[in-house]
Copies of this chain bind each other. A is one copy, B any other.
Amino acid sequence: MSSSDEWLALYTTIKLAGLTTLILLLLGTPLAWYMSKIQSRYKVFLEAIVALPLVLPPTVLGFYLLVIFSPTSTPGKWWLDTTGYSLAFSFTGILIGSVIYSLPFVVQPLQKAFEQLGDHVLEAGAMLSANSMDRFFTLVLPMTKASFITAASLGFAHTVGEFGVVLMIGGNIPGETRVLSIALFDHVEALNYSTAHWLAACLLIGSMVLLALIYLLNFNHERNIKYRMEP
């Protein structure tokens, strides 16, 4: 396996993890917000459903996703007819898989953050004519920034490390669905230990630097402002 393969896998990984995180933030934020607000018992089921992707082993989850993505199933056929390409073994496919698989890691921290926020400060915002969108972006978002960073970093890291789902529904196609975690696994399987160690170290150090950078940003922010919860 050439080193250009690895660069390609790195590129795919970053693209996958980055897009997954982005989509999860975009989808997960309103979902978490909604879940933090509803008061009915139905909330309980929603919470359980969001947590479910965790319970199935990744390859098994991948298998069921592949069944759905396959052009022989209705959704898969619809996708093929609409876009002209099959969801299975495409980048879009592994993206959807990663989004589903990492959903709970993004939704749950955000939901808790929104719940703990309470509405005292939001009421103050409303009384200054800020509508709900405005309040969300100017009050909720900055006040829960730390939880967004937690959510995003958990989602990102989890996507980087995931390979069961991705391998199953992605098919390990270089430049399209072959990600670093698969490459790393290949090296271990193929008994290329030195390459594997080297790749694992790079992954760890790279992620560590990335995470540290993220947390550093957050840390500087938090040093100045310490929110407090009160009755």
Contact = CB atoms under 8 A, between A and B. Distances in A.
Contacts of A61: 161
A52 interface: yes
Interface size grouping (class) on chain A: 35 or more
A55 B112 contact: no
A44 B157 contact: no
Interface string A180-220: 01101100100000001000100110011001100110010
A18 interface: no
A6 B119 CA distance: 48
Contacts of A158: 54
Nearest to A155: B54
Given A60-B185, A108-B154, A208-B49, A143 B229 contact: yes
B147 A185 contact: no
Contacts of A112: 109, 112-113, 146-147, 150
A157 B153 CA distance: 19
A149 B55 CA distance: 16
Contacts of A56: 161, 181, 184, 200, 203-204
Contacts of A41: 216, 219
B117 A52 contact: no
A130 B60 CA distance: 50
Contacts of A64: 200
With most chain B CB atoms within 10 A of its CB, the pick from A44, A105, A119 is: A44
Given A41-B219, A108-B109, A227 B118 contact: yes
Nearest to A120: B228
